[in-house]
Chains A and B, each alone.
Chain A
Amino acid sequence: MSIWEYANPKRFMQTSGALLPWVSIAAVILTVAGLVWGFFFTPDDYRQGSTVKIIYLHVPSAMMAINIWIMMLVTSIIWLVRRHHVSALAAKAAAPIGLTMTLIALVTGAFWGQPMWGTWWAWDPRLTAFLILFLFYLGYIALWEAIESPDGAADLTSILCIVGSVFALLSRYAVLFWNQGLHQGASLSMDKREHVADVFWLPLLVSIAGFVLGFVALMLLRTRTEIRSRRLRALEARERMS
């Protein structure tokens, strides 16, 4: 059995319907466990105090923001190459989740940055790159909304997603270059991996797993909704014809 069988909407609906409750439950358990563990059962950082605990929201959402875009890129390419409608709809379904994740990453970043750096916002390369990613998500969603023909919208957003990915990557490095050019070496480093000890690391992993499953659950749910609305369209079209 190949993975392409799920390209059949009917098949996808059956499998995703069976999977969805379990994924949702697992996502809730892991997210709650990760966050509670992280917030209440880890020691305060010796330098950052309790503010460090926002990483349990910040890091998973930031990771998801990027990974969801990558997933959209993959599904867009699958749509353009193999014309599987579920693939295009999955990309459409994922975009608002990615937008939300980017927003969470930006807002939690601001909350974290305020006590740490004394400012809500700095034009740090990483922050700026996320802001640009946010704009890419907005444009992508707006293009889906603007085009009436469903297949045309899928084509155009897929093309945008591919070209946008190249430019997003380019922007990432351009921003790195730009900021160093401005500040003569970044004074605000966001690189926290080296500061993270095992005590913080384990709950973070649980939290990340929770976010990933949460995304999968939401994405399945939204894709199912999209498929149902397409089915509705097809039924209406048939109704009009007879």
Chain B
Amino acid sequence: MTGKPDLLSLNALAVARGGVPVLEGVSFNLSAGDLLILRGPNGIGKTTLLRTIAGLQAPLAGRVSCVPEAIAYAAHADGLKSTLTVAENLRFWAAIHGTAGIDAALEGMNLTALAGRMAANLSAGQKRRLGLARLLVTGRPVWALDEPTVSLDRASVALFGRAVAAHLAQGGAAVIATHVDLGLDDAQVLDLAPFRAFSPAEGGRSTAFEGDFGGAFL
């Protein structure tokens, strides 16, 4: 991991939501130990950007380059099955990612006591913790997280902050869209507002519109 200077780099990335360009010209590099917090008003395209980084969506323009299979993505939906126990849920994701052992992840998210409980019987905050514990079993270096602290109480936010810090200390990196202070000092903050895609008529950069479907007709 440390051999590569950049774990993730975005180069003049433009993304669209529902065919409408929302962000353009987003560039940054993340190397081991870096944490990037994405800020910006609702609807600016934080989720879209993170989905593009995760490879779920194709960029409109620009490039996302990273080590293959480096991204662990987590969004609003935790991907939990309510009829499986906490341990079964985690074990499944560990098996999918070919990593062994879920104990550390259970420990890290303070879920050990709940391991045998059905996910259906967890509170919203506990579910969230389980969803975040999934990140620990992926064994992937770059975390791309979309509002990870939703429905977490203050103690759990601190717990999550420590988990992120531990991940960074192990040579990982993270890009997190959140408005909550995670208690991490060395985080870089990227405000997305300046990258909002404008139409050329408004004097905006035209790159996003040229590649866009609608742009072909205008």
- Within 8 Å of chain A (Cβ to Cβ): is B5? no
Report the minimum CB–CB distance from B57 to chain A (whole Å). 11
The answer to whether A242 touches B202 (Cβ under 8 A) is yes
- Within 8 Å of chain A (Cβ to Cβ): is B98? no
- Within 8 Å of chain A (Cβ to Cβ): is B214? yes
The answer to whether B217 touches A234 (Cβ under 8 A) is yes
The answer to whether B18 touches A234 (Cβ under 8 A) is no
Report the minimum CB–CB distance from B155 to chain A (whole Å). 41
Give the one of B202, B214, B215 with max A CB within 10 A. B214
The answer to whether B214 touches A234 (Cβ under 8 A) is yes
- Within 8 Å of chain B (Cβ to Cβ): is A10? yes
Instruction: Give the CA-CA distance A238 to B201 in the complex, in Å.
Output: 9
- Within 8 Å of chain A (Cβ to Cβ): is B216? yes
Give the one of B201, B215, B217 with max A CB within 10 A. B217
- Bits for B57-84, please: 1 = Cβ < 8 Å to A, else 0: 0000000000000000000000000000
The answer to whether B213 touches A150 (Cβ under 8 A) is yes
Report the minimum CB–CB distance from A8 to chain B (whole Å). 7
Known contacts A235-B218, A241-B198, A242-B199; A149 and B213 CB within 8 A of each other? no
Interchain CB contact (< 8 A) of A149 among B18, B202, B215: B18
The answer to whether B20 touches A237 (Cβ under 8 A) is yes
Report the minimum CB–CB distance from B212 to chain A (whole Å). 8
- Bits for A124-154, please: 1 = Cβ < 8 Å to B, else 0: 0000000000000000000000001111000
- Bits for A198-242, please: 1 = Cβ < 8 Å to B, else 0: 000000000000000000000000000001001101110110111
Smallest CB gap from A231: residue in B: B217
- Within 8 Å of chain A (Cβ to Cβ): is B19? yes
Smallest CB gap from B197: residue in A: A241
Report the minimum CB–CB distance from B44 to chain A (whole Å). 12
Instruction: Give the CA-CA distance A78 to B217 in the complex, in Å.
Output: 19
Known contacts A85-B213, A150-B213, A238-B199; A231 and B19 CB within 8 A of each other? no
- Bits for B16-30, please: 1 = Cβ < 8 Å to A, else 0: 001110000000000
Interchain CB contact (< 8 A) of B213 among A8, A10, A151, A238: A151
Instruction: Give the CA-CA distance A237 to B212 in the complex, in Å.
Output: 12
Report the minimum CB–CB distance from B189 to chain A (whole Å). 25
- Bits for A5-47, please: 1 = Cβ < 8 Å to B, else 0: 0001110000000000000000000000000000000000000
Report the minimum CB–CB distance from A123 to chain B (whole Å). 45
Smallest CB gap from A241: residue in B: B199
- In A51-71, the 8 Å CB interface with B consists of none
**For residue B202, which residues in chain A have a CB less than 8 angstroms away from its CB?**
242
The answer to whether B216 touches A85 (Cβ under 8 A) is yes
* Besides A150-B19, A234-B213, A238-B214, 17 other A-B contacts (C-beta < 8 A): A9-B217, A10-B216, A85-B213, A85-B216, A148-B18, A231-B218, A234-B215, A237-B20, A237-B214, A241-B20, A241-B197, A241-B198, A241-B199, A242-B198, A242-B199, A242-B201, A242-B202
Chain B residues close to A by CB (< 8 Å): 18-20, 197-199, 201-202, 212-218
- What are 30 A-B contacts defined by CB distance under 8 Å? A8-B216, A9-B217, A10-B216, A149-B19, A150-B19, A151-B213, A227-B217, A230-B213, A230-B214, A230-B217, A231-B214, A231-B218, A233-B19, A233-B214, A234-B212, A234-B213, A234-B214, A234-B215, A235-B218, A237-B20, A238-B199, A238-B201, A238-B218, A241-B20, A241-B197, A241-B198, A241-B199, A242-B198, A242-B199, A242-B201
